[in-house]
Amino acid sequence: MSDKEEPKFIRDNTITKEEFLSQFEDETIEITVQARYCWKKGSSPFPRFGKESLASFNYGVPWLNDPEGVVGEHGDVFWFTKKSLFGYPYKPEFKEGKIYRLRVRPSSFRAWASYRYFYLEEVLEKEVDLRGDSSLYTNALEDYYKNYETKTQEISVILRKDVDYSDMASGRPYGISHIARSFIVARYADSGKASMTSGILEIPYDNKNFSSNLKLKLKAGKVIRILVRKSISDDSDNTYMLEKVLATDVKDDELKKLQEYALTPTKWHIEGEDDFDIKDGEATGIILWDPEDSNTEVGVSLECDPDNMRTAILATEHFMKILGDKKAFEEAVYAVVADDTADDDGMIRTWEADWGDKEEEETILTKDAFKKRLGIISIMLSSDGSGSVLVSLDEMFTDHAYNVDIIADGVYEAHGLIG
């Protein structure tokens, strides 16, 4: 099977046991992995095949730093099992967090680069203890640091929740554990300015390099000055790793007042429009798309950080670009809908009904005639400018509407009929 083919799993007996097993190599290998999610009482098995069920556990290898290696970073180990006379557990039984040495058959496919599938042939050793192998911690440490900049910077923040050693009671013996705390205001030493900025402080801990953090106590609401490394991961924007606590309970009235201001519930003002309500992570309101026509109401939702509602300014900036040229916005969105619904000849076949006794009726329209009947129902925008537009189809497809994804400012993609 090639890497591009989809793996086949037994779902309601759509393939046979033999077909499933044929996706795994004949030659076996030995692997050592840590069980993460396992079958246990109350869990449902995969659909039954004959008198057997296809069971599995998901694994990780936190002591390795080799996503392209034989076991990758994560994966699944499968086996066929029969329910015991007394119900659960399905044999063999694996415990979450424990390490096992197994003989397995590798799959002939990969779902993605760092994920693997294996079929279990034999459990060679249960609950393996690897703590005596110093190279495992070295790999884990390297893996943890690779996600952060090498340079450090000094910042002052106010954490939203206490940090206490009791939060760190159950660390990972083969990797770096951490807890995370959020902040919504910060003062960066390089600029000296206090600013509203949502971020995450990760506090690593273990019994070796980060053992001092096990005794750490920090109070929420107090200004702390810290040395940090910034995350370079794409999915961890404005996340920092704690390198060192420089000072606690720092006097910084400006930063405290800024946090109080950020947390104050308020109306959200958009120039030229009625104030929006702002709560639960969004600013919502109704605008008239055509100020002269009361029938052109459009619902608007602007995303913000629930812990810092004034971050709605980010989505608002993208919304103001739309308001600045409604005609161009309409034309771009309507063109996407027309292109997606048209046939190869560029014509659009609708099915309309008057919701009375009349049967649905097919109508064939040109793209221009079709677009003239469209209208904007609602707009949702995230802080990065992405979002969606709900488009009225004027009952050309009975009661359906059309959803268009906003990829970025001026970039749109059809999502399809809804309703």
184 with 235, same domain?
A: yes
146 with 116, same domain?
A: no
- Pull the structure tokens for residue 155: 């910042």
Alpha carbon separation from 328 to 267, 288, 295, 378 (Å, rounded): 29, 17, 21, 17
Burial class (CB in 10 A: 0-12, 13-18, 19+), 81: buried
User: pLDDT of 74-104, one tens digit each?
Assistant: 899 998 887 655 555 567 888 888 899 999 9
Write down which residue in 100, 125, 150 finishes a domain: 125
Q: Residue 90 is part of a domain; what is its CATH number? A: 2.40.50
Confidence (pLDDT) at 2:
44
User: pLDDT of 397-419, one tens digit each?
Assistant: 766 788 999 998 888 988 877 75
Alpha carbon separation from 174 to 61, 64, 219, 329 (Å, rounded): 9, 9, 29, 53
How many Å apart are CA 405 and CA 412, to the nearest integer?
Answer: 6
Given a cut of 70, whether residue 352 has pLDDT beyond it is no
Confidence (pLDDT) at 375:
92
In-domain check, residue 175: yes
Mean pLDDT for the stretch of residues 369-379: 92
- Looking up tokens 């000296």 gives 192
In-domain check, residue 342: yes
pLDDT tier, 379 (very low <50, low <70, confident <90, very high otherwise)? very high
Mean pLDDT for the stretch of residues 51-65: 81
- Pull the structure tokens for residue 292: 């002269």
Nearest to 176 by CA among 198, 208, 216, 149: 208
In-domain check, residue 72: yes
User: pLDDT of 285-332, one tens digit each?
Assistant: 999 999 999 889 999 999 988 777 778 889 999 999 999 999 999 999
What domain range includes position 394?
A: 277-418
Confidence (pLDDT) at 359:
54
Find out whether 273 and 175 touch, Cβ atoms under 8 Å. no
114 with 49, same domain?
A: yes
- Looking up tokens 């916005």 gives 329
175 with 299, same domain?
A: no
232 with 146, same domain?
A: yes
308 with 392, same domain?
A: yes
Find out whether 348 and 338 touch, Cβ atoms under 8 Å. yes
Q: What angle do CA 166, 170, 173 make, to 5 degrees?
A: 140
Mean pLDDT for the stretch of residues 209-213: 88
Q: Which run of H or of E encompasses 287?
A: strand 282-288
Between 308 and 270, the more confident residue is 270
Given a cut of 80, whether residue 6 has pLDDT beyond it is no
Can you say how many angstroms the Cα of residue 155 is from the centroid of all Cα atoms in its chain?
27
Find out whether 377 and 401 touch, Cβ atoms under 8 Å. yes
In-domain check, residue 305: yes
Number of domains in the chain: 3
Between 206 and 149, the more confident residue is 149
159 with 248, same domain?
A: yes
Find out whether 361 and 369 touch, Cβ atoms under 8 Å. no
Given a cut of 60, whether residue 360 has pLDDT beyond it is no
Mean pLDDT for the stretch of residues 217-225: 94
49 with 155, same domain?
A: no
Confidence (pLDDT) at 355:
47
Mean pLDDT for the stretch of residues 379-388: 94
Strands in 145-276 per DSSP E: 153-159, 177-188, 194-205, 223-230, 239-247
pLDDT tier, 1 (very low <50, low <70, confident <90, very high otherwise)? very low
Write down which residue in 208, 226, 257 finishes a domain: 257
In-domain check, residue 164: yes
- Pull the structure tokens for residue 312: 């709605």
198 with 169, same domain?
A: yes
38 with 145, same domain?
A: no
In-domain check, residue 300: yes
Given a cut of 80, whether residue 40 has pLDDT beyond it is no
Comparing 37-51, 91-105, 109-123, 201-215, which segment has the lowest mean pLDDT? 37-51
121 with 74, same domain?
A: yes
In-domain check, residue 264: no
In-domain check, residue 266: no
242 with 285, same domain?
A: no
